[in-house]
Amino acid sequence: MGTKESDGVDPRVLRTRRDVVDAATELFVTEGWSVVTHAEVARRAGYSKATVYAHWPTRLDLMRASIGKICDEADHPEPTGDLRADLVRGLVDFAEDLAGGHLDRVLGGLLERSGSDPVVDELRRRLYEAGTRSLEGVLRSHLPEVDVEPSLALLVGGVLTRGAFQGRPATEEFVADLVDRVLASTGRGEEG
Amino acid sequence: MGTKESDGVDPRVLRTRRDVVDAATELFVTEGWSVVTHAEVARRAGYSKATVYAHWPTRLDLMRASIGKICDEADHPEPTGDLRADLVRGLVDFAEDLAGGHLDRVLGGLLERSGSDPVVDELRRRLYEAGTRSLEGVLRSHLPEVDVEPSLALLVGGVLTRGAFQGRPATEEFVADLVDRVLASTGRGEEG
């Protein structure tokens, strides 16, 4: 990812960009959107504020770069071909990212600012798509004849609601039960 | 609601509290958590900053009061006794609050700050419970023998994910389809 952007760019500029985006992403993920200021990112990355402003004139530019990095690094295991097992594994990963990887903070930051700026809405959609691409692919490959978006909304939403709003862990047992329910609703409950 | 708090309190103090909480809630809902400062709330409510600080020493106190107001005013229609129709109506209301009532901003603000402070986690749980109490009651009354939390997570999460992350409207048709899928998974799909 990012190959096109880096073609012909001074390696020092690339390093600066990488350091600053790393610092902004770390700040966003651990402390939340409102903490990501040019001053704080510059301080943490070890560059001047002027340098940060030169590359990313607005806070939204910093957020776009951070979310790009989060999307590029989204880790998707290879599907095994077992529909139920692949869905359970993907959703357990998602639940762990919510609980321990601070994904709740990232999604919350985007949700809080949604509707206020089309760029934010675009970032939110991009993050959702990057995060769910693998699950969507698994569903589509096994259920080519159906619209998988409702199933995806139920699965992703069920895990999100459990972990983020019911305040209870989305354990593997809970996730497997959700998957069985959703597969049953698509007529695939007996498989796997 | 709030009757106990108001017993024996000077009516002018009650009016001040109400004005300030109204202003804080309006700001929270329309512009997000990070915009709710003592200075801005005071300006909008027409009181001094000192007055606002005297009643709500921290921003979290202002947020707690706003979320209390949002919970108290959560509007839950009387169930009709038709399981499917009551769930669809409740969830369409929720989808409308997400899309037009800025509930996405409120939930996002809580999610962004979750894990950072037990008070925030408690507010998040309180808001979720107030928002889903009616749906939970409908499920429990028709399905007394089952744990309704997974069904509730699927329904609420499915609508949230559709509206807030898939960036597509959770129409009544979409909601009805989710309800049918979830009821099918509890063995109640043929009813209603």
| pLDDT reported for residue A100 | 75
Domain that includes residue A36, residue range: 3-70
Taking residues A48-74, what's their average pLDDT?
92
The Cα B94–Cα B170 span in angstroms is: 10
The pLDDT confidence band at residue B104, using thresholds 50, 70 and 90, is: confident
Residues 6+ apart with CB under 8 A from A167: B121, B124, B125, B128
**Are B47 and B135 contained in the same domain?**
no
**Are B55 and B104 contained in the same domain?**
no
**Are A81 and A176 contained in the same domain?**
yes
The region, left, alpha or beta by phi > 0 then psi within -120 to 50, assigned to residue A191 is beta
**Are B168 and B99 contained in the same domain?**
yes
Alpha helices by DSSP H, A59-148: 59-72, 83-99, 103-112, 118-142
Position B58 in a domain: yes
Nearest chain A residue to B128, by CA: A165
| pLDDT reported for residue A192 | 39
The answer to whether B161 contacts A159, with C-beta atoms less than 8 Å apart, is no
Closest approach of chain B CAs to the CA of A58, in angstroms? 17
| pLDDT reported for residue B188 | 67
**Are A146 and A98 contained in the same domain?**
yes
- CATH number of the domain to which B22 belongs: 1.10.357.10
Position A191 in a domain: no
Position B110 in a domain: yes
Position B192 in a domain: no
* pLDDT tens-digit map of B24-82: 999 998 888 888 999 999 999 999 999 999 999 999 999 999 999 988 887 777 899 99
pLDDT at A3 over 60: no
The Cα A110–Cα A123 span in angstroms is: 8
**Are A88 and A169 contained in the same domain?**
yes
Measured N-to-C along each axis, helices B118-142 and B59-72 cross at an angle, to the nearest 10 degrees, of 10
Test mutation, B154, B156, B173, B174, chain A, max A CBs within 10 A: B154
The Cα B109–Cα B105 span in angstroms is: 6
| pLDDT reported for residue A142 | 94
The answer to whether A153 contacts B158, with C-beta atoms less than 8 Å apart, is yes
The Cα A28–Cα A112 span in angstroms is: 14
The pLDDT confidence band at residue A191, using thresholds 50, 70 and 90, is: very low
Test mutation, B111, B124, B132, chain A, max A CBs within 10 A: B111
**Are B167 and B118 contained in the same domain?**
yes
What is the b/e burial string over A165-184, where b = at least 16 CB atoms within 10 angstroms of the residue's CB? bbeeebeeebbbbbbbbbbb
Among residues A70, A103, A124, which one ends one of the domains? A70
pLDDT at B113 over 90: no
Position A142 in a domain: yes
Three state DSSP letters for chain B: CCHHHHCCCCHHHHHHHHHHHHHHHHHHHHHCHHHCCHHHHHHHHCCCHHHHHHHCCCHHHHHHHHHHHHHHCCCCCCCCCCHHHHHHHHHHHHHHHHHHCCHHHHHHHHHHCCCCCHHHHHHHHHHHHHHHHHHHHHHHHHCCCCCCHHHHHHHHHHHHHHHHHCCCCCCHHHHHHHHHHHHHHCCCCCCC
**Are B86 and B48 contained in the same domain?**
no
Among residues B50, B70, B90, which one ends one of the domains? B70
The Cα B165–Cα A162 span in angstroms is: 16
pLDDT at B132 over 60: yes
The Cα B65–Cα B157 span in angstroms is: 26
Position A13 in a domain: yes
| pLDDT reported for residue B1 | 45
* pLDDT tens-digit map of A133-154: 899 999 999 999 888 999 999 9
**Are A97 and A175 contained in the same domain?**
yes
| pLDDT reported for residue A161 | 92
Position B191 in a domain: no
**Are A126 and A104 contained in the same domain?**
yes
The Cα B9–Cα A186 span in angstroms is: 58
Secondary structure (3-state) at A158: helix
**Are A83 and A175 contained in the same domain?**
yes
Question: Which residue has 């009544």 as its token pair?
Answer: B172
Closest approach of chain B CAs to the CA of A11, in angstroms? 35
The Cα B3–Cα A186 span in angstroms is: 49
Structurally, chain A folds into a number of domains equal to: 2
Residues of B in contact with A150 (CB under 8 A): 158, 174, 177-178, 181
Among residues B16, B41, B70, which one ends one of the domains? B70
A61-65, A140-144, B173-177, B185-189: lowest mean pLDDT where?
B185-189
**Are A94 and A120 contained in the same domain?**
yes
Taking residues A118-134, what's their average pLDDT?
88
In angstroms, how far is the first alpha carbon of chain B from the final one?
Answer: 35
Taking residues A164-172, what's their average pLDDT?
86
ipTM of the complex: 0.84
Position A161 in a domain: yes
